[in-house]
Chain A
Amino acid sequence: MEWQFFTEVLVGGLLSGVMYSLVAIGFVLIYKTSGVLNFAQGALLLFAALTFVSLTERGLPVWAAILLTLAAMTGIGAMIERAVLRPLVNQPPITLFMATLGVSYVVEGAAQLLWGTQVHGLDLGIDDLPLEIGGVLVSSFDLFAAAVAGAMVAALTLFFRYTRIGLGFRAVADDQLAALAVGLSLDRIWTAVWTAAGMVALVAGLLWGARLGVQFSLSLVVLKALPVLVLGGFDSIAGAIVGGLIVGAVEKLAEVYVGPFVGGGIEGWIAYVAALGFLLIRPSGLFGAKLVERV
């Protein structure tokens, strides 16, 4: 059944897209407050997953491992913010970007120095058995991942809409100077943001770790998130979600329906090309701020 297969590919793509969104949200949080494209996000994701797995393998209960990992992530985030981003605050964005690349070396090195380079399996207890809904194959694990992502986005939205710190975050994202002028504490807000980013890294790390195994390659998933960011805008959580869905769907449909004509394996770049094509129509992404200068 052709339409069934099409639906399968589409649904599979959308669900993969959710996984990309998860990584992209981490970028967005940091970008919104600090204006940094934080390339170390992949390394943080690796660090979180590796720490969690190593702790549970040493016999810690899951909740304790999660708490400890989260504490570690917050600590690292605060450290990056204090020691790296703050001294660079007036530098051009490209310098900041390179600095986060340097940070990613440090975090990757530290993660592997601490926990070793071995490959770990990560079992979240979700059986990934094929599930047919109306003749269309859906992965139960992907559904679970989508639910987790949904819950996380909801939590973030509530946090930013209804808590003092969250509102402060939005104020800082809108206008840093004005936020300072009315006496908001940047320190607390930045700490909160890095904690949130650490939490996102942990969730994304666990879900991706369950798919790939916890290993060095985990840090490469950032490459899947970048076209999502371009498409959705660097500073929009909604954009990251929608962008992820689009990228996932486009990628899979293109691979299945266009791939065979050019030899396949086009997934690696098709998302970038699609994002690029889209940008030429809308230079600041789907939901990005319109401040990007146009020629």
Chain B
Amino acid sequence: MTDLALAKATASPARRFSPALPGIGLLLVVAYGILPLVANEYLFDAILTPFLALALAGLGLNILTGYAGQVSLGSSAFMAVGAYAAYNLALRLPGVPFMIDILLAGVVAAAVGLLFGLPSLRLRGFYLAVSTLAAQFFVQWVFNKVGWFSNNSPSGIVSVPTLSVVGITLDSSAGRYLFALTVVTAVTLAVWRLVESPTGRALVALRDHETAARVIGIPVLRVKLLAFAVSSFIIGVAGVLWAFAYLRTVEPAGFNLDRSFQILFIVIIGGLASLRGAFLGAALIVVFPLLLARLGEALLGGLFDSGVLEMSQRIVLGLLIVTFLITEPAGLTALLDRAWNRIAGRFRRTGLPITG
């Protein structure tokens, strides 16, 4: 077996498309100014809010997998830790503002992530990946077993308290969306700063060649654990959004292995080691199955029953994932970059001025 440098193929392309700040500004204007005016409850609750939560989880995993090159199959366990921590903080420390609860929930998730990151000091590749499943199953078991975490609710499923920040109740779909948007924006900016910092470069060095990283004086062990902690923090916060802004209930079964795979798909399909990747991947993973379902229903609904349609969709989804991985293994980000470069190239040939 050769070296399992799991994320090697995705060294950042030299040219990225689009100017940064105007683009982000425009997006934020759309997200804050226009969407809340035009979107309906369905868009908020079924698409935008889960998209934001999953994108954030993808962002967190991307730190670990994309930047630091460590594969984890236990992401949803850390979402669960974040969700349950926030629930218990809100329940047991009623005086504390919810924004603090979120941060603390992230810290708890980070601590748990650190613990389960310890094996990474000895293990690599699939051995590490499979051992993160220990976190996946253990965490689910604990939340199921220990009644305290769900306030001894008889059924073990808890309804979370209403979201309210600085005295404003964010009960409506739009309110919960804006809350999630704000959290995601803040975390994304912080992550951006991080990956541009020397620490971020240390992560990449670690991924590309661990021994070389050690030679140039990077404290490999510390950086690895840091990656686990930061990643788990972000995924924990994503779990809080999932529970409080999106579903408004928490149950252990919601954070199962399938969810972990889903987050991994987001990262791989979106593009490793790219902040945009998490958002692109989440958009695809959230919206595409819905589109497929609606399309199947509209075109073939009369001919087949919903079971047959659903199975066919599963096949189509699987085929698309495989096709996508084959044709664009570097992810949606690379696809967009190439498209942009082609457009930019054409402009260059025609002598028009280009920006960015």
Direct contact of A and B (CB under 8 A): yes
Question: Contacts A103-B318, A230-B127: A84 and B307 contacting too (C-beta < 8 A)?
Answer: no
Q: Are the C-beta atoms of A112 and B127 separated by less than 8 Å?
A: no
A217 CB contacts on chain B under 8 angstroms: none
Question: Contacts A103-B318, A295-B210: A91 and B127 contacting too (C-beta < 8 A)?
Answer: no
Residue on A nearest B321 in the bound complex, by CB: A102
Stretch at the interface among B78-86, B132-140, B238-246: B132-140
Q: Are the C-beta atoms of B321 and A84 separated by less than 8 Å?
A: no
B196 CB contacts on chain A under 8 angstroms: none
Instruction: Count chain A residues whose beta carbon lies closer than 8 angstroms to a beta carbon of B.
Output: 56
B5 CB contacts on chain A under 8 angstroms: 92
Question: Contacts A94-B268, A95-B268, A98-B268: A112 and B126 contacting too (C-beta < 8 A)?
Answer: no
B1 within 8 A of A: yes
A293 CB contacts on chain B under 8 angstroms: 3, 124, 210
A275 CB contacts on chain B under 8 angstroms: 130-131, 134
Bound complex: CA of A219 vs CA of B123, how far in Å?
27
Q: Give the contacts of B279-334 with A (CB-CB under 8 A).
A: 307-308, 311-315, 317-322, 325-326, 329
A-B contact pairs, 28 of them (CB 8 A): A35-B2, A83-B322, A84-B322, A92-B5, A92-B7, A93-B125, A97-B129, A99-B322, A101-B261, A104-B318, A106-B315, A109-B314, A109-B318, A110-B315, A112-B311, A113-B308, A227-B133, A234-B1, A266-B141, A272-B130, A272-B134, A272-B138, A276-B134, A283-B122, A283-B127, A284-B127, A291-B1, A293-B3
Q: Pick the residue among B1, B320, B325 that contacts A289 (CB under 8 A).
A: B1
Question: Contacts A272-B137, A279-B119, A285-B127: A109 and B325 contacting too (C-beta < 8 A)?
Answer: no
Residue on B nearest A291 in the bound complex, by CB: B1
A235 within 8 A of B: yes
Q: Give the contacts of B241-282 with A (CB-CB under 8 A).
A: 257, 261, 264-265, 268
| Secondary structure type dominating chain B contacts | helix
Residue on B nearest A110 in the bound complex, by CB: B315
Bound complex: CA of A88 vs CA of B329, how far in Å?
8
A5 CB contacts on chain B under 8 angstroms: none
A108 within 8 A of B: yes
Q: Give the contacts of A239-295 with B (CB-CB under 8 A).
A: 262-263, 265-266, 268-269, 272-273, 275-276, 279-280, 283-285, 289, 291-295
Q: Are the C-beta atoms of B130 and A229 separated by less than 8 Å?
A: yes
A-B contact sample (10 more), CB < 8 A, given A92-B9, A106-B314, A223-B257? A88-B326, A93-B126, A103-B318, A105-B321, A106-B315, A109-B315, A272-B131, A275-B134, A293-B3, A294-B122
A45 within 8 A of B: no
Q: Are the C-beta atoms of A91 and B329 separated by less than 8 Å?
A: yes
Q: Are the C-beta atoms of B319 and A106 separated by less than 8 Å?
A: yes
Bound complex: CA of A202 vs CA of B245, how far in Å?
45
Q: Are the C-beta atoms of B125 and A91 separated by less than 8 Å?
A: no
Q: Give the contacts of A172-225 with B (CB-CB under 8 A).
A: 223
Residue on B nearest A96 in the bound complex, by CB: B325
Bound complex: CA of A276 vs CA of B119, how far in Å?
8
B3 CB contacts on chain A under 8 angstroms: 293
Bound complex: CA of A229 vs CA of B6, how far in Å?
19
B222 to chain A, nearest CB (A): 12
A11 CB contacts on chain B under 8 angstroms: none
Q: Are the C-beta atoms of B71 and A94 separated by less than 8 Å?
A: yes
Bound complex: CA of A239 vs CA of B239, how far in Å?
38
Residue on A nearest B265 in the bound complex, by CB: A98
Bound complex: CA of A144 vs CA of B49, how far in Å?
53
Q: Are the C-beta atoms of A292 and B137 separated by less than 8 Å?
A: no
Residue on B nearest A91 in the bound complex, by CB: B329
Q: Are the C-beta atoms of B321 and A101 separated by less than 8 Å?
A: yes
Bound complex: CA of A230 vs CA of B123, how far in Å?
11
B261 CB contacts on chain A under 8 angstroms: 101
Q: Are the C-beta atoms of A94 and B7 separated by less than 8 Å?
A: yes
Bound complex: CA of A84 vs CA of B127, how far in Å?
23
Q: Give the contacts of A147-165 with B (CB-CB under 8 A).
A: none
Bound complex: CA of A265 vs CA of B252, how far in Å?
15
A263 CB contacts on chain B under 8 angstroms: 145
Which of A102, A107, A265, A273 has the most B CB atoms < 10 Å from its CB?
A102
Bound complex: CA of A138 vs CA of B7, how far in Å?
48
A117 within 8 A of B: yes
Q: Are the C-beta atoms of B314 and A105 separated by less than 8 Å?
A: yes
Question: Contacts A102-B319, A280-B119, A292-B124: A91 and B134 contacting too (C-beta < 8 A)?
Answer: no
